[in-house]
Amino acid sequence: MNQTFNYREKYSWGFLFTAAVGLAGIVYAFMKPFNLRYRNFTLLEYPNSKYAVIAAGILFIAYAIHKFFKMRAINSGSAVQVSNEGMSFSEIKSYAPVNTSLLFAEVNELWNKEDKDDGESMILYTQNSKNRYEFFAENFESMGEFTNFKKILEAKCVQITNREAVQ
């Protein structure tokens, strides 16, 4: 039983919006002097308010660049390949995909996480919780592919310690 699952991060324009907000804040800080206020209370006066807005803008742009490079690295990686004994996939290290293989016998914890922000995902721990791998449902081609992937993991990973083995 060899199966291949395409695992690609969906393209999001959100990081471009974050960069645009950061750039707009930096431009505004250089255009005119201002104070940062909350109601009648002045939080920061000029020029400290200018420095704070520039620093926040730089952080927004840096976060957008980080998200862009992470998305490119995930999309340039190889597909998830599952066999009878284990699986191979691309793991992201320093914004570059690295091929990783693991045996199902090495998995000691298996979690099905459902989150409002991130959606559903499967989390694998190996080598006594030393290595953690997370596979998000939204990055598979379809929900059916993720469900099939989840069933395979639940059936093949039998030496897990965080729950009773399925009878």
Which of residues 25, 41, 75 is at a domain's end? 75
- What b/e sequence results for 19-46 when a residue is b if at least 16 CB atoms lie within 10 Å of its CB, and e otherwise? beebeebbeebeeeeeeeeeeeeeeeee
The total number of structural domains that make up the chain: 2
pLDDT band at residue 78 using 50, 70 and 90 as cut-offs? confident
Given this model, what pLDDT does residue 129 score? 65
Domain that holds residue 41: 14-75
Given this model, what pLDDT does residue 166 score? 43
Residue 4 in domain: no
The mean pLDDT of 69-89, rounded to a whole number, is 86
The mean pLDDT of 94-122, rounded to a whole number, is 86
Indicate the pTM of the whole model: 0.72
- 61 and 84 assigned to the same domain: no
Cα separation, 97 vs 27, in Å, equals: 35
Residue 127 in domain: yes
pLDDT band at residue 48 using 50, 70 and 90 as cut-offs? very high
- 67 and 116 assigned to the same domain: no
Q: What are phi and psi of 107, to 5 degrees?
A: -75, 120
- 66 and 88 assigned to the same domain: no
Given this model, what pLDDT does residue 165 score? 43
- 41 and 100 assigned to the same domain: no
Do 75 and 92 form a contact (C-beta atoms < 8 A)?
no
Query: Which token pair is 122?
Result: 């499967």
Mean pLDDT of the chain: 86
Residue 65 in domain: yes
